[in-house]
């Protein structure tokens, strides 16, 4: 970094640190948070929706509009990754025999473990997504664990499965689109059924899994979308490794 | 504020500084993975289990994996131009 | 000691910003951006913390117990996943730029004229 640029950088960082210190002096002391919105939400979320996880109730019911915005950021970013990385596929690729040959050089046990973990991880995802309004969890956490299943298969060394998956099926993209559209449709359901966008239009259940209005449905939609989006991103990155090696 | 929170905050600051100070990308990826794990422990200590669940998988698996794949792809793209395979510092030729 | 988390968040932000400004490799720049993102999570969650408060999950604690703020946690939890996808988009841009210009050095790339 040249000397002029270093001087400007130091001035900028000092100004930023000063501004942050001045702003932080107006914050509450650590541990003595007194603002009312959080207290009202924490007190009223359980009687209002019969769901015990007030964080998920806040994110998917009271502030569902913000979550819709974040979902669309996710969707657009994944579309960008797909557009950028698929253009690179014009390079000379390797066919299935070469990939299978390289797979055989990977350790047998890690390939088996990678494939064996897919089942339990899908079950864990379903559990965390569906119980999102009762215990810590929800759509976002379940979606990233589903991405972990694909990552374990590829990291273990079983690249042939990923190659087949990319070439023969498009259910990953369909699940992502279905999730994004499903969440937006729930908002319209609120508009039609209860008069305001994203108003909770399904009545509360009594106890257990069926409480919380449309929150379980929203969790499932978000889980599908986040899982599909991150699986697409990871498989695009792995595809670059598989296809791009010119011999 | 108890000792566990103070310890975790200090560790996060130290590992974050290391992740910035190390210049070679592969070593930085290890630092980012450790930073993700420490952040999720800090979020548990701050009584935020939902955020910690997301951060465990994202910070320890997704981000280092994507970084390593991108680094490998960049090295492979730069090999013919530099003429010697296995160059450890792509892109730092100009100083 | 009651401002220590805010100091750590500010330190991470400053360190990440310094790394972004002085970086000579785009992948190093993206990692410094990740450190800056981590500082925002630490700041948000530290602001909402209540001393001796429990997690805002009422599955096994009574509804009127002292809990930490759930609103900042709702903000942070969507943020973590979305910013991982943004890092993926940035990495895809870097890989594409490297294919086009054959370098990942920010200074070299700004000096190029097409």
ipTM for this model: 0.88
Shortest Cα distance from B23 to chain C (angstroms)? 7
Q: Which two tokens stand for residue C79?
A: 């943020």
Query: Angle CA(B66)–CA(B36)–CA(A180) in degrees, nearest 5?
Result: 60
C-alpha to C-alpha distance for A181 and A68, rounded to whole angstroms:
10
Q: Which of C5, C71, C89 sits opposite A37 (nearest CB)?
A: C71
> Å from A168 to nearest chain C CA?
24
- pLDDT tens over chain A, length 247 residues: 678 888 888 888 888 878 887 887 778 788 888 778 888 888 888 887 888 888 998 888 888 888 999 999 999 999 999 888 876 655 555 666 777 777 777 788 888 888 899 999 999 999 999 988 888 988 999 999 999 988 888 888 877 777 777 766 677 888 888 888 888 888 888 777 777 777 776 766 666 677 777 888 889 999 999 998 998 888 888 877 766 543 3
pLDDT at B88 over 60: no
Q: What is the mean pLDDT of residues C87-99?
A: 91
Distance from CA of B30 to the nearest CA of C (A): 11
Q: What is the 3-state secondary structure (H, E, C) of A117-156?
A: CHHHHHHHHHHHHHCCCCCCCCHHHHHHHHHHHHHHHHHH
DSSP A208: G
Chain B residues with beta carbon closer than 8 angstroms to that of A240: 69, 73
> For chain B, what percent of residues have pLDDT higher than 70?
82
Q: How confident is the model at residue B86 (pLDDT cuts 50, 70, 90)?
A: very low
Cβ burial C22-55 (10 Å sphere, 16+ → b, else e): bbbbbbbbbbbbbbbbbbbbbbbbbbbbbeebeb
Assessment of whether the complete model's pTM goes beyond 0.95 = no
For residue A138, CA distances in Å to A221, A222, B71, C7, C17 come to 10, 8, 32, 32, 33
Q: Is the CB of B23 inside 8 Å of chain C's CB atoms?
A: yes
CA–CA distance, C6 with C2 (Å, rounded to integer):
9
């Amino acid at each position: 970094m040249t000397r002029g640029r270093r001087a400007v950088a130091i001035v900028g960082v000092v100004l930023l640190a000063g501004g942050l210190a001045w702003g932080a002096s107006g914050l509450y002391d650590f541990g003595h948070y007194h603002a009312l919105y959080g207290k009202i939400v924490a007190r009223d979320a359980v009687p209002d929706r019969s769901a015990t996880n007030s964080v998920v109730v806040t994110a998917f019911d009271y502030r569902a509009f913000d979550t819709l915005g974040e979902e669309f950021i996710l969707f657009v970013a994944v579309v960008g990754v797909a557009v950028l990385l698929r253009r690179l596929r014009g390079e000379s690729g390797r066919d299935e025999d070469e990939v299978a040959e390289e797979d055989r050089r990977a350790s047998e046990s890690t390939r088996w473990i990678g494939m064996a973990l897919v089942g339990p991880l899908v079950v864990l995802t379903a559990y965390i997504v569906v119980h999102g309004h009762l215990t810590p969890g929800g759509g976002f956490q379940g979606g990233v664990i589903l991405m972990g299943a694909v990552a374990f298969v590829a990291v273990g060394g079983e690249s042939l499965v990923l190659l087949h998956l990319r070439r023969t099926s498009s259910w990953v993209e369909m699940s992502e689109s279905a999730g994004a559209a499903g969440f937006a449709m729930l908002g319209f359901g609120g508009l039609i059924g209860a008069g305001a966008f994203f108003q909770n239009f399904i009545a509360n259940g009594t106890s257990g899994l069926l409480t919380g209005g449309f929150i379980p449905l929203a969790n499932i939609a978000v889980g599908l979308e986040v899982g599909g989006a991150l699986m697409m991103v990871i498989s695009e990155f792995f595809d670059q490794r598989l296809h791009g090696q010119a011999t | 504020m108890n000792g566990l929170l103070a310890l975790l905050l200090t560790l996060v600051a130290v590992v974050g500084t290391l992740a910035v100070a190390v210049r070679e990308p592969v070593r930085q990826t290890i630092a980012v993975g450790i930073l993700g794990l420490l952040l999720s422990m800090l979020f548990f200590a701050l009584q935020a289990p939902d955020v910690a669940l997301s951060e465990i998988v994202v910070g320890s698996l997704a981000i280092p994996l994507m970084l390593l794949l991108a680094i490998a792809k960049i090295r492979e793209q730069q090999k013919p131009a530099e003429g010697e395979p296995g160059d450890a510092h792509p892109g730092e030729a100009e100083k | 000691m009651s401002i220590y988390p805010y100091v750590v968040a500010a330190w991470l932000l400053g360190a990440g910003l310094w790394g972004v400004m002085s970086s000579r490799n785009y992948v190093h720049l993206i990692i410094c951006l990740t450190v800056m993102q981590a500082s925002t999570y630490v700041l948000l969650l530290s602001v909402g913390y209540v001393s001796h408060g429990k997690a805002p999950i009422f599955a096994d604690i009574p509804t009127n117990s002292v809990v930490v703020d759930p609103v900042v946690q709702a903000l942070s939890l969507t943020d973590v996943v979305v910013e991982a996808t943004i890092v993926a988009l940035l990495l895809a841009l870097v890989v594409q730029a490297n294919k086009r210009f054959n370098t990942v050095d920010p200074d070299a790339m700004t000096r190029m004229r097409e």
